[in-house]
Amino acid sequence: MAAQTRKAAIVGGNRIPFARSNGAYARASNQDMLTATLDGLVARFGLQGEQVGEVVAGAVLKHARDFNLTREAVLGSRLSAATPAYDVQQACGTGLEAAVLVANKIALGQIESGIAGGTDTTSDAPVAVNEDLRRVLMEVNRAKTVQQRLKALAGLRPGQLAPEIPRNAEPRTGLAMGDHAAITAAEWEIGRQEQDELTVRSHQALAAAYDRGFFDDLVTPFLGLSRDANLRPDTSGEKLAKLKPVFGQGEGATMTAGNSTPLTDGASAVLLASDEWAAEHDLPVLAHLVDAQTAAVDYVHGGEGLLMAPAYAVPVLLARNGLSLQDFDFYEVHEAFASTVLATLKAWESPAFCKEKLGLDAPLGSIDRSKLNVNGSSLAAGHPFAATGGRIVATLAKLLHEAGPGKRGLISICAAGGQGVVAILES
């Protein structure tokens, strides 16, 4: 192992445009999307037949048959078949966690290059058999005689034919993620208007970035889609104000289909490498992954919001790197819901939260909002769970590169299960 560590370089990225659930990618599988995304990356950087150190990716909604999803995607891609791969899954943090894992192996000198990615489809989601039916079938499988088999089959009931469809809900609370976010929004008194304003800004910023060609070398069209299907460049505060709340209850409900991310299909990938590998391949270094941190909160019994873990992870990361929250040129805070972003920022501004929950003497303070999600984020682009991290890492790396050397960016991604993944990139 290398005596000294080094910072992994982000060379570039690729994603397919994100499609709304049951839209353009209704018949595409996770493997189809991840393979196409890898192939787009290969074409962009001339990596045909290249043996990359490791490909790490994952999906949140995953078929049992996809146990080796990433390796299968590699075998179907134009990368060398001798490229190893493994799957990871950390809910919506999957993509960023994959990038951190690849970066860490590069930092340790265990690999020279790697690809981190993620893919998710809610249109081609796995459907499992009813738990009762599954038990009966397993019993039949274990049976050794015809008699035993018949006895096991006698346990079959019509009601067992109803399939188990995956839900976007927390197993321990039974609440949808949006319902959890609504609790947090109410707790932090996040208003409807500020959520809608953040949403409008996300759509406008993403559309403007497309218009100026920012995504020309970050996105490869797929199945006829060349921009994110969820993008509404002409949306406005007035239009969003007309939408009825879908999460939360009664008069105080503020979260609508507009200021929440829709179910989305898509995939993304990021190419990371050592500086030496990038130079040998005449490839650019957009930024380096400086450091990362995860955190988790007890949203079941501990009274913390399901999506508040990044609020805890960031101060740890800042302290370790001797930085303040204001020492950044760009902030990429994943827009699971507009209210989540606003609650997180409000928490960092709150002396009480920072003292009681984070154990800090002073609050982290506020950030310059003009540096937040400057090219739009998940509210506009959509959020195929595992693909969001790759989208954000590549977007931020390019932003930092455009801004020039020595610029710094913070990524904050909340995830199901009360988790959060955050990271610092630097050009």
| Contact flag: residue 73 with another protein (CB under 8 A) | no
Q: Pairing mode, if any, of strands 54-57 and 113-120?
A: parallel
Which residues from 21-60 bind another protein, rule CB under 8 A?
Answer: 36, 39-40, 42-46, 48-49
Catalytic site includes residue 354: no
CB of 219 to another protein, least distance (A): 7
Q: Decide whether 270 or 416 has the Cβ nearer to another protein.
A: 270
For residue 235, what are the CA distances in angstroms to 50, 193, 200, 243, 379?
A: 43, 14, 6, 12, 12
CB of 24 to another protein, least distance (A): 12
CB of 269 to another protein, least distance (A): 13
Binding mask 75-114 for another protein (x = CB under 8 A): ---x------------------------------------
Q: Decide whether 218 or 307 has the Cβ nearer to another protein.
A: 218
CB of 30 to another protein, least distance (A): 18
Q: Pairing mode, if any, of strands 113-120 and 19-20?
A: unpaired
Q: Decide whether 121 or 419 has the Cβ nearer to another protein.
A: 121
- Per the CB < 8 A criterion, the answer to whether 400 and 331 are in contact is no
Selecting among 63, 92, 180, 401, the annotated active-site residue is 92
CB of 26 to another protein, least distance (A): 17
Binding mask 126-165 for another protein (x = CB under 8 A): ----------------------------------------
Which residues from 282-311 bind another protein, rule CB under 8 A?
Answer: 282-284
Selecting among 180, 203, 383, 401, the annotated active-site residue is 383
Selecting among 288, 334, 401, 414, the annotated active-site residue is 414
CB of 381 to another protein, least distance (A): 16
Binding mask 207-236 for another protein (x = CB under 8 A): ------x-xxx-xxxxx--x----------
Q: Decide whether 44 or 149 has the Cβ nearer to another protein.
A: 44
Q: Decide whether 49 or 233 has the Cβ nearer to another protein.
A: 49
Q: Considering only CA atoms, which of 95, 76, 12, 77 is closest in space to residue 268?
A: 95
- Which positions lie near another protein, rule CB under 8 A? 36, 39-40, 42-46, 48-49, 78, 213, 215-217, 219-223, 226, 282-284
Positions marked active-site: 92, 383, 414
